[in-house]
Structure 1
Amino acid sequence: MNRDGRLGVGIVGAGRVGPVLGAALAGAGHALVGITSGSDRERVEAILPDVPVLDAPEVVRRSELVVLAVPTAELPGLVRGLAETGAWQPGQLVLHTDPASGVGILSDAAARGAIPLAIHPAIAFTGTSMDLRQLHGAFAAVTAPGPVLPIAQALAVEMGCEPVVIAEEDRVAYAEGIATATTFSREIVRQSTGLLSRAGVPEPGLYLSSLVHSTIDHALAGSRAARDAEPPSES
């Protein structure tokens, strides 16, 4: 890390998440050194103009912080493959964004001296600059070894999020909670708009917008009230 705290950041994964987090970190003053190629180059170029497109080993070689933003199924093989090529460097930060995994999935990188971090911002990514506004005020699940937990928390803050520490053994439950909220929300809205369309309602999505948002707000407020009313647990 440079003396001013500025990191050279490399992004492995050019889907919806990686480029957005790269742009957020660049906005916090870090330098983007490269990103791997993706199928939608125009979208990536729109949010990360002039960032070099490199293969994964070269991104890792150039980076002080590597952001791994790839599908869950690809993550273990990617980390292992980069370890086998000798890409990981002692003292290098490596951060993944998978909600279900803690830092254990980065063990092959950690064994070669890299510092493992897990940060999952709790938003629905579109892969566009709209997400940068969504990040501000969102929460992020953070998991890291104790001595480097403040680094992970600081990076989450620099992305615009409020960090919430999740224990390694609780990541699966956390991921289930996130998946339940997103999957059921999408499916319920899809079913509802279909029914309203059949009933002759024009623009059913727009028709439901205020209702859905207010219902969710009320449900979240009720959840907070119930939590606040719980008696304190005995130690």
Structure 2
Amino acid sequence: MRAGRLDVGIVGAGRVGPVIGAALAGAGHRLVGITAGSDPDRAAAVLPGVPVMEAADLVRASQLVVLAVPHDQLPDLAAGLAEVEAFQPGQLVLHPDPAYGTDVLEPAVRRGAIPLAVHPAITFTGTTLDLRQLQASYAGVTAPAMVLPIAQALAVELGCEPVVIAEADRPAYAEAIATASEFARSIVGQATGILRGIGVENPGGYLSALVSSTFDRALREASPD
């Protein structure tokens, strides 16, 4: 795999799929296509010129399939693509959902595909700005032992430092990710609301340096020496 490049298909044109596609293209892989999404202009801005294809046709044409769809849609998507025999033996099938390991890809595995779970630990905006964030982030990686190096290599190609998460630990991992994300949004929202209420213009900009430095300090204190 590492000696050559892969034909990559992106199923899911929300905030995550196009960015992962752009990162993989930047690592030298070839993008076969992407499925249609609700915001085609945004997807096209991140992946200009990439063909829009039907999911089953795209999967059949790809060596690496990225299933970047909302959490509650992933099980049915995997099952549906397996039912129409879209998955191919030896094909890599990757999803970036933090809460699932590889069990959710069992329908693809039964068709001979190789399951990988790679979650970049960033908040995606769906723009090319995310590519810079990926370069300073980690990725939670889950895969069968025989193919774990492939998942780790793909995380590195996204720009992330891979951290192995056991299948059984994915729910706890997802809880940690959700707790950090929701807490940060809640606190910032509350603080900016107070400042706005007393007439401070651009409260988000006003708090930017304070919030960033506070979180940086908290993260340093939480990290081992």
| Same fold at TM > 0.5 | yes
Shifted more, 207-216 versus 5-14: the winner is 207-216
Q: 1:61 maps to which residue?
A: 60
Tell me how large the CA RMSD over aligned residues is: 1.0
Tell me whether 1:204 sits opposite 2:207 in the alignment: no
Any residues of structure 2 matched to 1:1-235 within 5 Å, and which?
4-224=3-223, 227-228=224-225
Task: Count how many residue pairs are aligned between Structure 1 and Structure 2.
Answer: 225
CA distance in 1, matches of 2:181, 2:163: 19
Aligned-partner residue type, residue 52 of structure 2: V
What secondary structure sits across from 2:140 in the alignment?
strand
Post-superposition offset of 1:47: 1.0
Post-superposition offset of 1:55: 0.7
Post-superposition offset of 1:77: 0.4
CA distance in 2, matches of 1:200, 1:108: 55
**Runs (5+) with no aligned partner, structure 2:** none
CA distance in 1, matches of 2:60, 2:112: 14
Highest CA radius of gyration, 1 or 2? 1
CA distance in 2, matches of 1:5, 1:144: 21
CA distance in 2, matches of 1:79, 1:215: 41
TM-score, normalization: structure 2?
A: 0.98
Q: 1:232 maps to which residue?
A: none
CA distance in 2, matches of 1:134, 1:97: 16
Aligned-partner residue type, residue 143 of structure 2: A
What secondary structure sits across from 2:131 in the alignment?
helix
TM-score, normalization: structure 1?
A: 0.94
CA-to-partner distance for each residue in 1:123-156, whole Å, 9 max, x for gaps? Answer: 0101110000110021000000000000000000
What secondary structure sits across from 1:38 in the alignment?
coil
CA distance in 1, matches of 2:68, 2:30: 18
Post-superposition offset of 1:50: 1.1
Q: Which runs of 4+ in 1 moved over 3 A?
A: none
**Runs (5+) with no aligned partner, structure 1:** 229-235
